[in-house]
Structure 1
């Protein structure tokens, strides 16, 4: 049996606007379907958001520690 945990993240988490690679936050129009970051990452907008939501959930659950990439 696989054990799963549901973690609720804030609805204000900028999951779509944050680069899942470097953490940079940038504004996007809703019509933009591809996230392209200055770090070189180009990824589907929804996949980028999913990766950020997964990371936020893992941080809140204590399974991983948040790394401040700006430092």
Structure 2
């Protein structure tokens, strides 16, 4: 008898459950990803997700500060 299958490890995500896309920058005001990145997140490799998560903080400056004041 084989051992029961282990559930997959959870996928790391920068999502903070604030899903509002800024029309000007095209970035989510919560996690700074694009809609395409959000949609493809589960298909990215672990390396791709890590690389992108390292880049996300620098994207904050692409959003006008008054818009971020509503969220964070």
- State the TM-score, normalized to the length of structure 1: 0.30
Say which structure is richer in strand: 1
Higher relative contact order (CA 8 A, sep 6+): 1
Say which structure is richer in helix: 2
